[in-house]
Structure 1
Amino acid sequence: MTNVALASYSTLSIYSAMAVLTLAMLAFAIDLARSAPRAAAAPLAAEPVPAAGASRPPAPASFDRPDPPLDRPDPPVAARPAAGVGMALSWLAGALVLLGVVLRGLSVMRVPWGNMYEFATTGCAAVLAAFLVWSLRRDLRWLGLFIIGPVLLTLGLAVAVFYTEAAQLLPSLKSFWLVIHVIFAIVAVALFTVAFSVTIVQLVKSHRETHPPATATFMEGLPSAAALDRTAYGLHIVAFPLWTFTLIAGAIWAEQAWGAYWQWDPKEVWTFVIWIVYAAYLHARATAGWSTRSVNYLALAGYGCILINYLVVNIYFVGMHSYSGM
């Protein structure tokens, strides 16, 4: 039986989270708008003046600069009221999304991952959790707009397009492998999503460092392209093994449910395609001859495959994984 009251409270919590996320996005946008004057007023680092007659050594490429020592303390965090408001609202929104996911599960007494609506809301909770927990260790206020925007868009799609009434699982989904397989997929996609946002910012930042603009904008207040590239790479390094386990766990579950590890189902194929593209990205990172920009385009292609797998395969392809509920 479905507890209609809990299901309605879950939907109300998701709508409330969307309202709070909208305010958070506006706060982060205001902060970035104010960062342009700060970037323009920031003094340039003084360079040593060579002795008379000595030639100035060439500046190292931005991607070849060594990382700062691990024991060096972070610089003081500047006062940015709008960003502080955005972070506070993000924590509130994250709690509301998580509450909506929990209430959805309690309304039917199962894990809330049985259709596209439930996967989307749980995925948004995972993305917000990854961003917020990470922000406890690093100043990520600059990243807020680029995380909150996609999350808000996904929640909008979930309630407007993907919404499905709370109901019991299909018989084929009633397995402990649902928890194992899907939770790893959700965490991996959450990390890939954060990495996607960072990679987009890195590509823009790299272009602006190569072709400096006439006037400073908020982009000049963001971390360097080299730092952004290292961050995105680290996120991919963590997400890829999780996606690998998702693929393996899905094959084991398929053998138990359908009698074969692999049946060339559209969902299976695209899950493997995603793995191949991200494996190519990581391989290219370790191979000489690839430029940073070309490698990051591979990462964007991998996330494009994730979107196809979720938005196209789940809706328009008929197969053994037709559980969208739409």
Structure 2
Amino acid sequence: MVNETLARYSDWTYGAAVVIYVFAMVFALIEQAYTKPRRVRAEARQLATVGGPAVVETPKVPVGRPERGRADRIGRMGASLLILGVLLHFMSIVLRGVATERPPWGNMYEYMTLVTFVAMATWVVLMRKFPVRRVSAFVLLPVVILMFLGGTVLYANAAPVVPALQSYWMVVHVTAAASASGLFLVPGVASILYLVRTKYDKDDGKFTRIGPRLPEADVLDRLAYRTTIIAFPVFTFGVICGAIWAESAWGRFWGWDPKETVAFVAWVVYAAYLHSRATAGWRGRRAALINILGFAGTVFNLFFVNLVSTGLHSYAGVS
């Protein structure tokens, strides 16, 4: 039995979260525009031309509370809105679950809601660990697009799930798969920004407007790597649980269903990324490209395999 009132409240909080995310993205873009780019390389070259060492002296900062400029104040406002959006996002998931009396990820709309929530919650945590707040708009943009598609094209009314999904394995497998997909979104965006930043560092004529306003390349590289380290075991656990559930439901652990195949390919790509970083010492552009390739496989599995191809996973629209 579905509680229509709570389901309606869930839809309202979902819509409110999307609106708040849009405002947070606007504030992040304003902060990005007002942030003064650092011209370290240019100053270093000027010192080198006069025969001095190519070292830039760091200006002394007075002791006490630092002065906050306009960009910083706007960025803090955007971060506050982002946190508010995450809380509303979480509330919409809880209300949907209470309304349907089941785990609220039984269709593509609910699955997309969980994926985007995990991505946003992860980004809020990372903003406290890395100086990346001013690039929040680049993470918010795909999240807002996914949530808009989820709330319009993929929307489904609150209802019980089909009998095939009435299993405790849905809680374990789908939770792990959706959480891993949300986590992978962050390093995917970070790797793309890393390529932009390194391209600007090597050639001042490329990305001159956005390049100097991005975090340092090393920061983006470490963020992508550390987030992938956390996401990969979760993804692996989800794949293993899916195989166990498949044996229980369909009588085989693996059948090269389109979704299983693409998930395996993405797993291999991410495994290659982590292995190359740990053993061969691959860093920089090559590692970022591998990470982006894995993220592309995740997105392909999320949309094309679920919505276009036909297979054993097509009946539910979830992994």
Shorter chain as denominator, the TM-score bin is 0.7 to 0.9
Distance 2:221 2:187 in 1: 10
- Indicate which of 108, 121, 124 corresponds to 1:129: 121
Distance 1:156 1:303, change over 3 A: same
Distance 1:234 1:44, change over 3 A: farther
How far 1:142 sits from its partner (Å)? Answer: 2.0
1:266 is aligned to 2:265: no
Deviation by residue 1:65-92 (Cα, 9 ceiling, x = unmatched): xxxxxxxxxxx79541111111011011
Distance 2:162 2:67 in 1: 50
For 2:317, the equivalent position in structure 1 comes to 324
How far 1:133 sits from its partner (Å)? Answer: 2.2
Deviation by residue 1:104-153 (Cα, 9 ceiling, x = unmatched): 11111000110110010111111111111232334431231111111111
CA contact (8 A) 2:123 2:186 kept: yes
1:294 is aligned to 2:314: no
Higher relative CO (Cα under 8 Å, sequence separation at least 6) belongs to 1
How far 1:226 sits from its partner (Å)? Answer: 2.2
1:28 is aligned to 2:28: yes
1:190 is aligned to 2:189: no
> Could you state the TM-score of these two structures normalised by the residue count of structure 1?
0.85
Matches within 5 A, 1:267-282: 267-282=259-274
Distance 1:151 1:266 in 2: 25
Matches within 5 A, 1:128-277: 128-213=120-205, 217-277=209-269
Distance 2:306 2:79 in 1: 33
How far 1:286 sits from its partner (Å)? Answer: 4.0
Structure 1 counterpart SS, 2:38: helix
How far 1:43 sits from its partner (Å)? Answer: 9.4
How far 1:219 sits from its partner (Å)? Answer: 2.8
Distance 1:269 1:13 in 2: 36
How far 1:227 sits from its partner (Å)? Answer: 2.4
Distance 2:89 2:53 in 1: 55
Deviation by residue 1:242-299 (Cα, 9 ceiling, x = unmatched): 1111111111111112221112211111111111111222233345495631221121
For 2:5, the equivalent position in structure 1 comes to 5
Matches within 5 A, 1:12-23: 12-23=12-23
Distance 2:208 2:253 in 1: 55
How far 1:225 sits from its partner (Å)? Answer: 1.2
Counterpart AA for 1:22: V
For 1:73, the equivalent position in structure 2 comes to none
CA contact (8 A) 1:40 1:215 kept: no
Number of equivalenced pairs: 305
- Indicate which of 94, 107, 114 corresponds to 1:102: 94
> Could you state the TM-score of these two structures normalised by the residue count of structure 2?
0.86
When structure 1 is superposed on structure 2, of 302-311 and 142-151 the one drifting more is 142-151
Distance 2:215 2:190 in 1: 11
Q: Percent identity?
A: 36
Distance 1:211 1:324, change over 3 A: same
Counterpart AA for 1:172: A
Distance 2:42 2:276 in 1: 37
Distance 1:289 1:252 in 2: 35
Distance 1:312 1:41 in 2: 44
Unmatched 5+ stretches in structure 1: 60-75
When structure 1 is superposed on structure 2, of 81-90 and 185-194 the one drifting more is 185-194
Unmatched 5+ stretches in structure 2: 56-65
Deviation by residue 1:133-192 (Cα, 9 ceiling, x = unmatched): 232334431231111111111111101111011110111111111111112112211211
Distance 2:23 2:220 in 1: 26
1:39 is aligned to 2:31: no
Distance 1:302 1:169, change over 3 A: same
